[in-house]
């Protein structure tokens, strides 16, 4: 039976069909839907971990006990999991272990666009790269097989376009794979230096076997065509090359670490001009050039942003490569940006910068922070949007959990900032990696104030549960972490819970805690507006009172606009949260009512 699936759905299906019994990860676009889909299959166990490092450690434990394991995360999550990953290459596995790294070229929902193919080379573990959903499903099975045969964890690298695009996949029945027996083997699993040195040598021996394997694996193959141009490619770029150059010779690499030296030399010898088409860094190109072969890649194609068929076509043309036109019936991509089709003649789509949702309780926090002129170190999540104009209530955002350490660092560098700096962090991010930053601040005598924006979910990735929500990924009830008790246990003496929709109370709390000269935590608690919409009537505008001062626009609420020099409220999307009512200095915005605008 065939079914239309996204790459993420196919990875989940592949794990199910190939006997995976344990799936664990941390939600992060574009990887999130893998575990959400895997959790729906019977007979498996799926869990959200508080961060990616924990996820991989849980996966390693399950593998040690003999289970086939799937661990999922986005590309930056592999940075968090890098510590156990590096040693996992030494210990190897018992049950097969596949780590999915979902990379995000173009930064659709990320703070950087790192190329995680280098992680495979760095850790010396095999890497597979699917180019569509069928390959995503099949490569999970192949990766598990390779993991067990070569005693190594395997990285399955996807990109946003593969993860979220749909294509047909052939479904099969689940193959039940029994637990591999656990055998105590301290020289393999106990990485004290004496045993670690032995496993380091064993890792090189396994790599040598892998180098032979990558020459013959069926996912690395040559399609001979017009030999005037030969293209080496992988991942989604393979689909673009097939579309733009349907007659060219192509070396398609599904296994990108180790790279097949012999196969590449054979391909290069069979074509007149050798090109590499790959998104992001010149990973394949540098390897090919290192073999002493003449090749062109990043001289033509950019080393940043996401590719499209239109971009590939345009760059090939600029480089003098003969490219069939879209109109000849082969490989049109006229519907894609930058293509040669008629849509290119249409006016560009107006830019729509992302904003916090209508009714988001965090909106008031950033309004107050900006008004108080505080230095605000921020963190990853929806609330990063509070740093954009017109709110501009945040000064920095680097990575998960960085806000608290950075606030402490500001205080260390400039004592005058001690009572003018606050850190903001979401509840899920606090569980991910904010706890250790707070411990550091308290232990080292910091005086900072941390605002935990507690909306009872992992909102930006699609409302996943976490240790504070009282529910697991599989929908089972779980003990909910008591945030107040937790931060008190870390040594914070000043803890208070506030309603972020109460601007006066919120302002007073932030002023008092920032001035206290002691570590403090403010928990701004309101459920995400998309999860729990309160039944309040939309705000009403008194046109006679409104002066058109536009103070309400500083909230950056998409429900508020100015029409005929007066404030107007879109009753369809207004949630009646009342923040604008509180900031209006003239009382022109009023709670409740039907007659808006």
Distance CA 391, CA 355 (A): 10
The answer for residues whose C-beta is within 8 angstroms of residue 115's C-beta and 6 or more apart is 103, 279, 280, 281, 283
Residue whose C-alpha is closest to residue 213's, from 267, 158, 154? 154
Hey, what are 102's tokens?
């979902």
410 is in an annotated binding site: no
Distance CA 13, CA 397 (A): 35
Distance CA 143, CA 382 (A): 34
557 is in an annotated binding site: yes
Contact yes or no for 167/238 (Cβ under 8 A): no
Contact yes or no for 367/583 (Cβ under 8 A): yes
Residue whose entry in the numeric block shows the structure tokens 């501009």: 392
Contact yes or no for 526/577 (Cβ under 8 A): no
Pairing outcome for strands 540-541 and 589-590: antiparallel
Q: Where are the alpha helices (DSSP H) in 414-474?
A: 427-429, 435-443
577 is in an annotated binding site: yes
Is the preceding peptide bond at 258 cis, omega within 30 degrees of 0?
yes
Which helix (H) or strand (E) element contains residue 494?
strand 494-498
382 is in an annotated binding site: no
Distance CA 190, CA 95 (A): 17
User: Please, is 327 exposed, middle or buried when counting C-beta atoms within 10 Å of its C-beta (0-12, 13-18, 19+)?
Assistant: exposed
Distance CA 400, CA 429 (A): 6
Task: Provide the sign of the torsion angle of the four alpha carbons 304, 306, 307, 308, taken in this order.
Answer: negative
Contact yes or no for 72/31 (Cβ under 8 A): yes
Q: Where are the alpha helices (DSSP H) in 492-578?
A: 503-514
In Å, what is the CA distance from 310 to each residue of 146, 244, 297?
A: 36, 8, 17
Residue whose entry in the numeric block shows the structure tokens 């900031």: 583
Beta-bridge mates of residue 497: 523
Contact yes or no for 176/19 (Cβ under 8 A): yes
Contact yes or no for 41/34 (Cβ under 8 A): no
Nearest 5°: the CA angle 443, 446, 450 is 100
In Å, what is the CA distance from 540 to each residue of 221, 546, 559?
A: 65, 11, 12
549 is in an annotated binding site: yes
Q: Which residues are annotated as a binding site for [4Fe-4S] cluster?
A: 546, 549, 552, 557, 574, 577, 580, 584
Q: Which residues are annotated as a binding site?
A: 546, 549, 552, 557, 574, 577, 580, 584
């Amino acid at each position: 039976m065939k079914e239309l699936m996204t790459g993420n759905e196919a990875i989940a299906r592949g794990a199910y069909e190939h006997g995976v019994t344990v799936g664990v990860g941390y939600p992060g676009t574009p990887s999130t839907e893998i575990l959400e889909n895997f959790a729906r299959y019977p007979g498996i166990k799926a869990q959200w971990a508080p961060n990616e490092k924990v996820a991989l450690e849980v996966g390693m434990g399950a593998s040690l006990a003999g289970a086939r394991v799937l661990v999922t995360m986005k590309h930056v999550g592999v940075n968090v999991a890098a510590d156990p990953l590096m040693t996992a290459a030494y210990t190897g596995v018992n049950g097969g272990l596949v780590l999915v790294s979902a990379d995000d070229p173009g930064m659709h929902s990320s703070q950087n666009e790192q190329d995680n193919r280098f992680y495979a080379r760095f850790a010396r573990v095999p890497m597979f790269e699917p180019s569509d959903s069928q390959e995503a499903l099949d490569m999970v099975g192949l990766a598990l097989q390779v993991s067990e045969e070569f005693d190594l964890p395997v990285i399955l690298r996807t990109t946003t376009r593969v993860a979220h695009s749909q294509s047909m996949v052939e479904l099969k029945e689940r193959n039940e794979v029994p637990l591999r027996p656990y055998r105590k083997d301290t020289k393999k699993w106990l990485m004290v230096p004496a045993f670690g040195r032995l496993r380091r040598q064993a890792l090189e021996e396994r790599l040598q076997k892998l180098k032979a394997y990558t020459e013959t694996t069926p996912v690395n193959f040559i399609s001979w065509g017009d030999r005037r141009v030969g293209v080496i490619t992988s991942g989604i770029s393979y689909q673009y090359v097939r579309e733009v150059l349907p007659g060219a010779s192509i070396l398609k690499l599904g296994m990108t670490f180790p790279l097949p030296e012999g196969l590449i030399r054979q391909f290069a010898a069979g074509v007149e001009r050798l090109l590499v088409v790959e998104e992001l860094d010149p990973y394949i190109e540098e390897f090919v050039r290192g073999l002493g072969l003449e090749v062109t890649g990043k001289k033509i194609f950019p080393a940043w942003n996401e590719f499209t068929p239109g971009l590939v076509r345009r760059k090939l043309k600029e480089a003098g490569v003969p490219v069939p036109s879209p109109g000849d019936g082969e490989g049109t991509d006229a519907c894609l940006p930058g293509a040669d089709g008629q849509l290119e003649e249409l006016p560009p789509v107006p830019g729509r910068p992302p904003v916090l949702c209508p009714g988001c309780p965090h909106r008031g926090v950033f309004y107050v922070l900006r008004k108080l002129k505080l230095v605000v170190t921020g963190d990853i999540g929806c609330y990063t949007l509070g740093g954009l104009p017109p709110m501009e209530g945040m000064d920095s955002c680097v990575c998960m959990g960085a806000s608290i350490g950075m606030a402490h660092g500001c205080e260390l560098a400039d004592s005058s900032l001690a009572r003018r700096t606050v850190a903001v962090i979401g509840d899920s991010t606090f569980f991910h990696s904010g706890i250790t930053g707070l411990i550091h601040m308290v232990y080292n005598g910091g005086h900072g104030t941390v605002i935990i924006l507690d909306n009872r979910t992992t909102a930006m990735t699609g409302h996943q549960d976490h240790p504070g929500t009282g529910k697991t990924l599989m929908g089972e009830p779980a003990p909910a972490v008591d945030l107040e008790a937790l931060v008190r246990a870390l040594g914070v003496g000043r803890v208070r819970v506030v309603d972020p929709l109460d601007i006066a109370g919120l302002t007073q709390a932030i002023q008092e805690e920032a001035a206290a000269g002691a570590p403090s935590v403010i928990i701004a608690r309101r459920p995400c507006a998309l999860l729990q919409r309160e039944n309040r009537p939309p705000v009403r505008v008194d046109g006679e009172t409104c002066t058109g001062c536009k103070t309400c626009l500083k909230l950056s609420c998409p429900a508020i606009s100015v029409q005929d020099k007066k404030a107007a409220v879109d009753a369809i999307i207004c949630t009646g949260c009342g923040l604008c009512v509180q900031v209006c200095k003239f009382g022109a915005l009023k709670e409740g009512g039907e007659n808006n605008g």
